[in-house]
Amino acid sequence: MAKIKSVYVCQNCGAESPKWIGKCSSCGEWNSYVEEVIRKETPSKAVHNVDTAQSKPVRIEEVESTTEQRMDTYSAEFNRVLGGGLVGGSLVLLGGEPGIGKSTLILQVALNMVNKKVLYVSGEESVKQLKLRSERLLKPASECFVVSETSLEQIFVHIKNVQPDIVVIDSIQTISTEYAESSPGSVTQVRECSAALLKFAKESGIPVLLIGHINKEGSIAGPKVLEHIVDTVLQFEGDQNYMYRILRANKNRFGSTAELGIFEMLQNGLREVTNPSELLLSQNHEGLSGVAIASAIEGIRPFLIEAQALVSTAAYGTPQRSSTGFDIRRMNMLLAVLEKRAGFKLAQKDVFLNIAGGLKVNDPAIDLAIITSILSSSMDIALERHICMAGEVGLSGEIRPVNRIEQRILEAEKLGFKKIIIPDYNLHKSDKNTRFSIEVIKAKKVEDAFRVLFGKQ
């Protein structure tokens, strides 16, 4: 007989308690415990019986090394973030804000794979809604099957009937199994359904794409075990007021997590941005102060990005500090460096910083462009149009070296820039400078860079 057990589970972190409590002792959330009924089957055999073991340990030298076969998704940006394509039997989780374009991205990938049979299971939209979306994107592929279903058991029946090459679940928070007596989206349902899909993917070799919701903190909703058991966790981010979308890999067992995919949201779907530098740079900032161009790198992709700053006299007693697309704490640190090491008084001024295009950049090499744009706005002096820079700024005012400086220089040269300021410790061999047609200027401290940019002023 199946034993029925009732426990209280925190819907925020997944902690269990034998009775209801008001505040979760693990995450500190209030009124998050919900009663859930769990059935536990009585095992027929003892788990400690050594005769039932189906595998045995082997030396690591005896394990045969094989290359993972990848499926081409016919999307260069999606392939890059995945590490080269979909791996057979992998479980991929895609999360993002509501309305950011998660379903559009996955459906567009499914329609592009004309040589693969794709089963798209939607628990949020009807089949007619998916048809309307596919017509808006492009001509529907003949090998893409769609179904509206929320029962995990029925999904496995559809998989058995269709025999697909790829399975898409949209979304994991809407799927429920009859073995857990709780509502869809609860910690228990998400954990049980994701574990069953993981077992199916590993046994059948069919890759499964999961779309997940996120909570108000920005992390993927559900238990943390969901991110642990999947092979790849993708984050689809971007401001809905901008047309650009960024695809990042927070976890990837088959590739690097430093890759970045850039898409542009259009009326007929998502368009891949092959050269983001040309789109992220505005062409009408000549003669305007507070604009500096930085050579940044995300993953293996170099691109030039525009840093915009506005410095004005504080209207109130406490000056304002605002940053969009850049860490506000790092901006405050750079302002302290400007005041302490370079002698510029910004304590009584409002500072507003913006990274053009709605991107969030974490590359420390854009520090030099950040302080240059702030100083340009404070002095109301415009920079030269054909000059860019790359360098990390230390607390003592030194310009620290950055990685892969040659790719940054080549990207600036390709886009027609005439000068680039780099740290003095990068490219220390003088013969390397002769390979570039762009003028490479080295600077040890921020004062050296300011002297080049602003002259005697």
Annotation: binding site for ATP: 96-103
CB 120 within 8 A of CB 170: yes
Q: State the binding site.
A: 96-103
Residue environment code for 419-435, b if the CB has 16+ CB neighbours within 10 A, otherwise e: bbbbbbebbeeeeeeee
Q: Pseudo-torsion of CA 159, 161, 162, 168, nearest 10°?
A: -20
CB 246 within 8 A of CB 273: no
CA distances from 59 to 50, 62, 68 (A): 20, 5, 21
Tell me the one-letter amino acid at 403.
Answer: N
Burial class (CB in 10 A: 0-12, 13-18, 19+), 306: buried
